[in-house]
Amino acid sequence: MKKGSLILMIITGMFIWLGGLLTYGLGINDIIPVPRPDLIVVGTSLIGISLIVSGACDLFGKKTKEMHIEENDERNIALGNAAMASGFKAMNVTISVSLFALIFTGYMTIVPCFTIIGAYAIGQIVFIIRLWHLHKTM
């Protein structure tokens, strides 16, 4: 990633994390009409801290010249893409099975169900469009 996007990731993480802590400190999380107001603080803290740590590790990690050359090596890029493809296939199966199990055991409500289905559908659509584009250009 470029340095600017990593800095933006760290700043976004700071805003999310501090926003969650601010809602807890001011007691706003008890006023917000959500089923589990305690999860607002936990969720924003986890998301914010993970963005901060991820961005800081990539930003401040020094790469040697050999590491930079190896990172741009075509073989390593192909291996990384193959590993991501396998992860994508495994994620599709596990999300489908998990969603099926949660729906039919009664643990899934309407809003999260359609949110997960929408995210799953977007991933599939992006895959199909990218595959079509790559077949067309290569």
What DSSP assignment string belongs to 8-76? HHHHHHHHHHHHHHHHHHHTHHHHS--S-THHHHHHHHHHHHHHHHHHHHHHH----HHHHHHHT-HHH
Please tell me the pTM assigned to this model: 0.56
pLDDT at 1 over 70: no
Q: Tens digit of pLDDT for each residue in 28-74? A: 777 777 777 777 888 888 999 999 998 888 888 777 777 777 777 88
CA neighbor of 98 nearest in space, from 117, 80, 121, 74: 117
